[in-house]
Structure 1
């Protein structure tokens, strides 16, 4: 895995800071590419890079001590950090040419002969983007969406019964922005200068999950010199108190059994040294021609373990 936040293993002996300080300082000062690396290069990844934006951090977040814990251990009940980000579900199509190509690709992929008609055959309920907000806030919302200044002026100066049409992409089954849909917006005006912006979507099959993105939070915790059970108890305490399910555990090394255990409990792992997890051997693809199991589709595990394993 590629690491940006943490020093390489060879630098450990020359860094006077503890690993915990390194992690917390990195979280406090790291730029967005480094924070994205933490979210995307862990095992299992939290989200792909193209669906992450607006990352923010909190460092050394305290937890309330459990009732059974002595008061003297209160300070020990902290987590190293929280990553907050937006997970993108929809993006505005930037150009008419890209839209035409996107519709053509969608038509070819799904045998959608009627093109535009099939892409807009379903209609969502009316949604509100901004309710009775000042023009400055409406401008910020539309700019954040990716509209150009000219498009924003058109949206904010629509006639009372007018609609602004825009094309967007939502994600396909692989999480890529390839599925086009039509979104129409209207603006309602009030005597005090405030406005309400509403929108409605027209789509082929699956309704877009939200307007653009949803807020996500992830706990970041350092793997210190604790046992597996103690570390997992600390993780679950943080999950319960903070109501955050996703966790990234940062460390320098883990045994194969520990790694499997954490992953099975929904914990993502970010190792400052390479993390190797075994995957089932494929003797059909093995390049070891001397192995007696070469070419077999069902090798007995007791035998192929003698000849190595495939690591990711």
Structure 2
């Protein structure tokens, strides 16, 4: 049974590294959560390593600037692994071709499709209309507040052409402050349900965990699965991914599942058990909010 804990410090000495989700755990898309930042700073001061593992479609440099704007201290983390970095590497390797139809916000397009240099040779991806595309790159809907169903006609056309869709963010929804927004995962899910082929690179899929481990190794840290704790509020991303990687997890119930788990300060045990049973999930620990 999932153990409800009162603070990260209750269990942190069992782990050498944390794979920490951002949205819903460290910030809410508008500002940082001070208690979460303090907990991560304290963990690092005791010798632990914090890798921020996020399904953001942005490259890590862009995420770092975003964190600074939200007020997340730089001493709360050691390195960042983003779904965007993992997906970007695959895109420039030709996973969906080099002439692509782009679905997402304009600022995400600029950062995601910025030319990549490999062995001193710049590689470009060209954005083209859907009828000229070799594949699709999706960082999110054009309008995060609009129903993804609005994209069905274009996706249906893409499916008839046999185009693959590269999903740069497997999250279905995210809460920006008090507002819930659709993510690229909702578009990819719709495309898959329609019979199209979607390629995923963020949580819960293996590529981003491989990237996170490489970030650890780049810091000179060699940590086995038993020494890593994954922290996140997404039961289908953070927790499912941790279970797939055979690493322990801390479920933040006050994020996406706050209503289902009846979380105010801490989750209601009965509601938590019912939710986890419905989701067929088994996080190692749970807490209302990271602190």
TM-score, reference length from structure 1? 0.23
Structure showing greater relative contact order (alpha-carbon pairs closer than 8 Å, 6 or more residues apart): 2
Between Structure 1 and Structure 2, the one with more strand by share is: 1
Q: TM-score, normalised by structure 2?
A: 0.24
